[in-house]
Structure 1
Amino acid sequence: MSKWSLRGLIFSALFAGVMVALSSMKVNLPFSTVPITLQTLAVMLAGSVLGARFGSLAVLIVLGLAAAGFPVMAGRGGVSVLVGPTAGFIWAFPVAAFAIGWCAERWGQGKGSFLKLLAINFVFGALLVYPSGVVWLAHSVDGLDTVSKALVAGFWPFLPGDLTKAVLCASVVSAVYKVYPIERIVGRRERGWLEGDKSSVRS
C-alpha cells in the first residue's frame, strides 16, 4: 500500500466529518471562555484509528475548513477562531493526533490494547494539548494574570472529562482493532517495518 493511499484519504475525510459533528456538542462554562466539547475525543479517535499521517490530516482538514469560514469548530468558523482564546488548544490538535497515531501504530495493538490506548490517548490527546492551550488562553483573556487563574479557566475543570474521553476512545478502538487493524489504513509495508517483521515486507 502506498504511503498516501486512497483508502487513507477517504477515511481522513470521514473522520474530519466526525470531528465536525462531535465539536458541535458543547457545554459553555460560566467561568471560562473554553467550552467543554467532544473535539478532543474526535482527535483521539482519528489518531488511534487512522495512524499518524491520516489522523493528523483529518484534523488539518477541519482547521482548513475553519480558516475558510465554515462553522466547523463548535459551530464557529473563520480566522478569528484560529487566533482566538482557544487557539492554543486548536493548533495543538494536529500534533496530538500525529503523536497518538505514531504511538498507536507501534504499540496500540496486541495484548493490553485497552490500557496502552488509554495511556496514549490521555497523555497525547489531553495532557499534550494543555500547555499551549493554557498559555495562549492566559495571553488572550484579560484577568487571567496568574497561573492559578489560567489553570482554573483552561485546565482543572476539563481533566475528568478528558480522562473519560480517553477511556471511551480506548474501549472503542481496542474493539475496532480486532476487526479492522490499523495496518489496513497505514499499510502493511509500514506496519511490518515498525514491528521488525521482515517477512511482512513485500517488494
Structure 2
Amino acid sequence: MKKWTTRGLIFSALFAAVMIALSYLKISLPFSTVPITMQTLAVMLAGSILGARYGTLAVLIVIGLAAAGFPVMGGSGGLAVLAGPTAGYIFSWPFVAWLIGFFAQRIKQDKYTFVKLLAANFIFGALLVYPGGVWWLAHSLGMDSLSKALTAGMWPFIPGDLTKAILCSAVVTAVWKVYPIDRILNSDTGVWADGEKSTISR
C-alpha cells in the first residue's frame, strides 16, 4: 500500500479549508431547498489536483467537521445537515472526489488535457451526484413525483454544474503546467514542470 505523505496531507487540509470557504458562496432558490453552491467546485478541484486519495480525504475532513457540529456547510453543521434534504448530494462527494482523482491521475497531459478533465469533472462531479441527491431529496421531503424531484434537485443545476466543470478544468490545466499531480503524490515516475524527473517515492 502506498504511503501517505506529509505534502499530501497538508494539501488535503488546505483544500478542505477551500471547500469550507466556498460553501458560503451560495444562492437560494425559491422553488427548492437545494441551493446553488460553489462547494461542488471545490470537490472537483480537490479530486483533479490532489488525486483520488488526498482529494477524498479533503472532502471527508469537511464532512467529519460537519458531523462534529462545526458550521462548515455554508454556516451550518451538525447531524441535522447530514440527514437533511441535501444529504444525498453531500454523501456523494467522497465518491465524486475519488473518481475524478482516479481518472486525473491517469490523464496524460497533451493538447486534449482540458477536454479530458472536463469530461471527468462533468460526468463524475455533476451527473453522478444527481441520482443519490435527487432520490434522497424526494424521500426526505415526501415528493410524490419524479418530475417534482428533478425540478427541485437537478434540472436548474445542470448549467451551473457544467460551468463549474469548465472552470475547474481550465484552472487545473493551468496548474498542471507548473505543478503536476505527481508532485502531490510524490510519484517516483512523475515528470515535473521543468522536465526534471522526480525521484521521491510515494
Q: How does 1:1-203 map to 2 (within 5 A)?
A: 3-107=3-107, 109-142=109-142, 144-189=143-188
Q: TM-score, normalised by structure 1?
A: 0.91
- 1:43·1:55 contact (CA, 8 Å) conserved in 2? yes
Partner of 1:195: none
User: What letter is aligned with 1:178?
Assistant: K
User: What letter is aligned with 1:43?
Assistant: V
Q: Deviations over 1:99-120 (max 9, x none)?
A: 0000000016333111110000
Q: Which runs of 5+ in 2 are unaligned?
A: 192-198
**Partner Cα separation in structure 1 for residue 100 and residue 25 of structure 2:** 23
Deviation, 1:62, is: 0.2
Q: Deviations over 1:65-122 (max 9, x none)?
A: 0001000012110011011100000000010000000000001633311111000000
User: What letter is aligned with 2:150?
Assistant: L
Deviation, 1:186, is: 1.5
**Partner Cα separation in structure 1 for residue 153 and residue 62 of structure 2:** 22
Deviation, 1:188, is: 1.3
Q: TM-score, normalised by structure 2?
A: 0.92
User: What letter is aligned with 1:164?
Assistant: T
Deviation, 1:202, is: 6.9
Deviation, 1:187, is: 2.5
Question: Identity of paired residues, percent?
Answer: 66
- 1:3·1:186 contact (CA, 8 Å) conserved in 2? no
Write out the 4+ residue segments of structure 1 that deviate beyond 2 Å after TM superposition: 108-111, 189-192, 200-203
- 1:48·1:100 contact (CA, 8 Å) conserved in 2? yes
Q: Secondary structure at the match of 2:74?
A: coil
Partner of 1:197: none
User: What letter is aligned with 1:86?
Assistant: T
User: What letter is aligned with 2:132?
Assistant: S
**Partner Cα separation in structure 2 for residue 190 and residue 150 of structure 1:** 47
Q: Secondary structure at the match of 2:71?
A: coil
Q: Which runs of 5+ in 1 are unaligned?
A: 193-199
Alpha carbons of structure 1 residues 191 and 103: separation in structure 2 relative to 1, 3 Å: farther
- 1:53·1:101 contact (CA, 8 Å) conserved in 2? yes
Aligned-residue CA RMSD in angstroms? 1.9
Q: Deviations over 1:40-69 (max 9, x none)?
A: 100000000000000000000000000010
- 2:19·2:43 contact (CA, 8 Å) conserved in 1? yes
- 2:183·2:190 contact (CA, 8 Å) conserved in 1? no
Alpha carbons of structure 1 residues 20 and 65: separation in structure 2 relative to 1, 3 Å: same
**Partner Cα separation in structure 2 for residue 74 and residue 163 of structure 1:** 21
**Partner Cα separation in structure 1 for residue 4 and residue 130 of structure 2:** 30
**Partner Cα separation in structure 2 for residue 50 and residue 201 of structure 1:** 17
**Partner Cα separation in structure 2 for residue 75 and residue 52 of structure 1:** 27
Q: Secondary structure at the match of 2:111?
A: coil
